[in-house]
């Protein structure tokens, strides 16, 4: 089973200068094959720094990372291989589109891997399809596309590398609600169909609650919570103190619970909340009817 | 006349080749009429590409109409003699906090716009202090903007606009890059400016929860205004909003799901408190 193990990771930016910043502090973490992880934390908590370690773009100041059991800082480790296995989609990735056609942009990575032309073409078509775009877009200039389309082209460029792990740094920032839902649905589908491990960095508590199996919460360079969404959002008061919040429905459930309704306060999605309220309300209906009849 | 008025506004982005021949025309604003009352808090929603930013840029005359007219506090934005007065009347705050900070110390950054307007130095310092206070950032006046969080940087940007004493402030997705608390802080600042300083606010956002306190919501689609109303009116139309690539706040959606199941929950629930009360009243 493939996995990522982060062992006592520390990172310091610009050590020994006035700008020195201890951005990651003793991070320990296991990410298993096929998981969907939501990574949350206030601005500056270290999310982007951490994910750049996972594909080797930044080298730890101390500690190490094992990818599929191998120490990525070993002298003989194939770092270039790691970068294609762990795909990273940066924030506002559309700013990095630079080719004249979508085809050229998406095929850039596979080409760089030195693959055969047929394989490059296949991967390019497949990646574009995976992000929900049609073939007809391949000849378009990236600059003619809408914000949501550009974002998908950028994600396709990373998918064309056939990564085992896909990391996305706030992939929905600035998109309208429909564009946001479409991208998140595409990622969920990729996760289901291709069993890719997903790490989603997000500022939307609603989105990570809906899609992630497990949440990792960062604060000031460390990990403060690591668990399933309902386990993490129970701590909504503590989360607020560190710049975060819980999904709106979690607050509704807590209020109802405090008022004596028998609803589960750790619910995090609209679907679950609907079920809980329906159940609680039909219980009160039944019990009232019973009292009446008695 | 209102603070901002657009009459039959049309704007076309025209692309030309090297010889100046027209290559393509993109009608980004297609016959829009809006009227924003002085002192109102108005939110603009709409899909990516629906024309919101193009609209915003007309309000401080970065763009001028292809057809129709825009007035800011009665001044026609095509009147070049009024350009400075218009820009002083309507200040703009953009999405990216990092692109809006100029100086190396917070208070200098905040004073920059006012200084450019030729405000006397003495007066600038008074205004800087007032605006930083209004934005809840006074204690950071001697700090370096680079060291601030995204939400704090946006509040510095807002303070900088406030120091120019605008009557109206236009914010184009000011919270898009912020974490939940940063969003809350910025929204709180905007609401207070509107309430206490009586500044007319035009807020463009993709976060539906941010518009529930607006006096009025305008929905744009393909360059046109397709819905207008109070937040409650707008958010009662869940299905129509979806057509325009929009959504409703999570509590509104939960209320909607419950009413679909036959529970008597009123339409257009906007807050946690309202929903909890509605559920309690039918239990
Ligand atoms: N290139 C850099 N040089 C110095 N400090 C940096 C650099 N990049 C990030 N930092 C600092 O490291 C910390 C973590 O930043 P980052 O990983 O970007 O956080 P997040 O992605 O959670 O917002 C912050 O305090 C940030 O200011
Ligand atoms: N500088 C520009 N040149 C050409 N077309 C543009 C430019 N800016 C925006 N557009 C186009 O105008 C339309 C409206 O864009 P915009 O006002 O940015 O929408 P929004 O802010 O609602 O996302 C879109 O079709 C967009 O592609
Ligand atoms: Mg980041
Ligand atoms: Mg815009």
The answer, yes or no, to whether any atom of ligand 2 lies below 6 A from the CB of B144, is no
User: Does residue A268 have a pLDDT over 80?
Assistant: yes
Residue B178 domain-assigned (yes or no): yes
> Confidence class of residue A285 from pLDDT cuts 50, 70 and 90?
low
- In chain B, residues with a C-beta closer than 8 Å to the C-beta of A205 are 180
Instruction: Dump pLDDT digits (tens) for B21-39.
Output: 988 899 999 999 999 999 9
Instruction: Dump pLDDT digits (tens) for A121-146.
Output: 999 999 999 888 888 899 999 888 88
Burial of B201 (0-12, 13-18, 19+ CB in 10 A): buried
Q: Are B81 and B61 in contact (CB under 8 A)?
A: no
Residue B61 domain-assigned (yes or no): yes
ipTM score assigned to the predicted complex: 0.86
> Nearest chain B Cα to A41, which residue?
B179
How much is the average pLDDT of A90-100?
A: 85
CA of A212 relative to ligand 4 center, distance in Å: 29
pLDDT at position B258 is 95
DSSP annotation of B20: S
Residue A284 neighbours by CB under 8 Å, 6+ apart: A261, B283
Q: Per the CB < 8 Å rule, is B275 touching A252?
A: yes
| Residue B181 lies in domain | 4-230
Residue A146 CA to residue B48 CA, distance in Å, equals 7
pLDDT at position A34 is 96
Residue B223 domain-assigned (yes or no): yes
Tokens matching residue B34:
């809006």
| Residue A266 lies in domain | 247-294
| Residue A17 touches chain B, beta carbons under 8 Å | no
Tally of structural domains, chain A: 1
Q: Per the CB < 8 Å rule, is A177 touching B258?
A: no
pLDDT at position A289 is 54
Residue A172 neighbours by CB under 8 Å, 6+ apart: A179, A180, A183, A184, A202, A204, A207
Residue B15 domain-assigned (yes or no): yes
The answer, yes or no, to whether any atom of ligand 1 lies below 6 A from the CB of A23, is yes
pLDDT at position A2 is 64
Which candidate from B209, B246, B254 shows the least CB-CB separation from A249? B254
Residue B275 domain-assigned (yes or no): no
The answer, yes or no, to whether any atom of ligand 1 lies below 6 A from the CB of A243, is no
Residue B269 domain-assigned (yes or no): no
Residue A283 domain-assigned (yes or no): yes
Residue A235 neighbours by CB under 8 Å, 6+ apart: A225
Tally of structural domains, chain B: 1
pLDDT at position A290 is 54
Mean pLDDT of chain B: 92
CA of B159 relative to ligand 1 center, distance in Å: 25
Which of A143, A176, A249 is most worth mutating to test chain B (most B CB atoms within 10 A of its CB)?
Answer: A176
| Domain CATH number, residue B179 | 3.40.50.300
| Residue A198 touches chain B, beta carbons under 8 Å | no
% of chain A surpassing 90 pLDDT: 76
Residue A133 CA to residue A142 CA, distance in Å, equals 13
Instruction: Dump pLDDT digits (tens) for B239-254.
Output: 999 999 999 999 999 9
Mean pLDDT of chain A: 92
How many angstroms away from the CA of B179 is the closest CA of chain A? 5
Q: Are A172 and A101 in contact (CB under 8 A)?
A: no
| Residue B254 touches chain A, beta carbons under 8 Å | yes
Residue A274 domain-assigned (yes or no): yes
Residue B165 domain-assigned (yes or no): yes
Mutation test of ligand 2: which of B6, B12, B13 has the most ligand atoms closer than 8 Å to its C-beta?
A: B13
How many angstroms away from the CA of B38 is the closest CA of chain A? 28
Instruction: Dump pLDDT digits (tens) for A26-63.
Output: 999 999 999 999 999 988 899 999 999 999 999 999 99
Bridge partners, residue A167, by sequence: A88, A199
The pTM of the full predicted model, rounded to 2 decimals, is 0.89
């Amino acid at each position: 089973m493939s996995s990522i193990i982060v062992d006592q990771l520390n990172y310091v930016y610009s050590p020994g200068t006035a700008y020195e910043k201890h951005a990651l502090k003793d991070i320990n973490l296991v990410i298993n094959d096929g998981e969907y992880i939501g990574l949350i934390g206030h601005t500056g908590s270290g999310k982007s720094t951490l994910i750049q370690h996972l594909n080797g773009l930044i080298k730890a100041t101390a500690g190490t990372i094992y990818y599929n059991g191998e120490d990525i800082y070993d002298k003989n480790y194939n770092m270039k291989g790691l970068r294609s296995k762990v795909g990273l989609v940066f924030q506002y990735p559309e700013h990095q589109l630079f080719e004249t056609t979508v085809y050229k942009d998406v095929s850039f990575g596979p080409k760089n891997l030195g693959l055969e032309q047929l394989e490059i073409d296949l991967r390019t078509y497949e990646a574009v399809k995976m992000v929900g775009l049609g073939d007809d877009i391949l000849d378009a200039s990236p600059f003619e596309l809408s914000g949501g389309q550009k974002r998908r082209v950028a994600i396709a460029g990373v998918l064309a590398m056939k990564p085992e792990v896909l990391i996305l740094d706030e992939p929905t920032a600035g998109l309208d609600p429909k564009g946001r839902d479409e991208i998140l649905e595409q990622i969920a589908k990729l996760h289901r169909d291709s069993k890719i491990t997903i790490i989603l960095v997000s500022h939307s508590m609603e989105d990570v609650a809906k899609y992630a199996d497990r949440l990792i919460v960062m604060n000031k360079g460390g990990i403060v919570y690591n668990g399933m969404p309902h386990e993490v959002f129970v701590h909504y008061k503590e989360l607020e103190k560190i710049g975060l919040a819980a999904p709106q429905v979690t607050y509704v459930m807590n209020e109802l619970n405090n008022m004596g309704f028998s609803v589960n306060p750790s619910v995090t999605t609209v679907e679950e909340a609907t079920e809980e309220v329906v159940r609680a309300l039909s219980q009160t209906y039944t019990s009232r009817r019973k009292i009446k009849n008695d | 006349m209102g603070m901002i008025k657009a009459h039959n506004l049309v704007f076309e982005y025209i692309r030309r080749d090297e010889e100046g021949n027209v290559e393509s025309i993109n009608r980004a604003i297609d016959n829009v009429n809006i009227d924003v009352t002085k002192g109102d808090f108005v939110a603009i929603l709409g899909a990516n590409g629906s024309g919101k930013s193009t609209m915003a840029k007309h309000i401080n005359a970065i763009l001028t109409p292809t057809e129709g007219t825009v007035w800011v506090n009665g001044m026609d934005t095509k009147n070049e003699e009024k350009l400075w007065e218009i820009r002083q009347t309507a200040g703009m705050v953009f999405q990216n906090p990092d692109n809006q900070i100029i100086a190396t110390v917070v208070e200098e950054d905040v004073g920059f716009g006012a200084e450019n307007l030729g405000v006397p130095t003495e007066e600038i310092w008074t205004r800087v202090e007032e605006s930083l206070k209004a934005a809840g950032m006074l204690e950071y006046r001697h700090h370096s903007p680079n060291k601030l969080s995204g939400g704090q940087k946006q509040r510095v940007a807002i303070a900088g606009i406030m120091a120019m004493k605008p009557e109206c402030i236009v914010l184009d997705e000011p919270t898009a890059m912020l974490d939940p608390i940063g969003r809350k802080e910025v929204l709180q600042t905007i609401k207070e400016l509107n309430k206490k300083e009586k500044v007319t606010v035009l807020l463009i956002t993709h976060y539906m929860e941010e518009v529930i306190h607006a006096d009025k919501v305008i929905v744009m689609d393909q360059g046109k205004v397709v819905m207008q109303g109070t937040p409650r009116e707008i958010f009662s139309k869940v299905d129509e909003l979806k057509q325009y690539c929009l959504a409703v706040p999570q509590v509104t959606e939960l209320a909607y799901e419950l009413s679909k199941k036959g529970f008597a929950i009123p339409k257009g629930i906007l807050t946690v408190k309202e929903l909890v009360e509605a559920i309690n009243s039918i239990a």
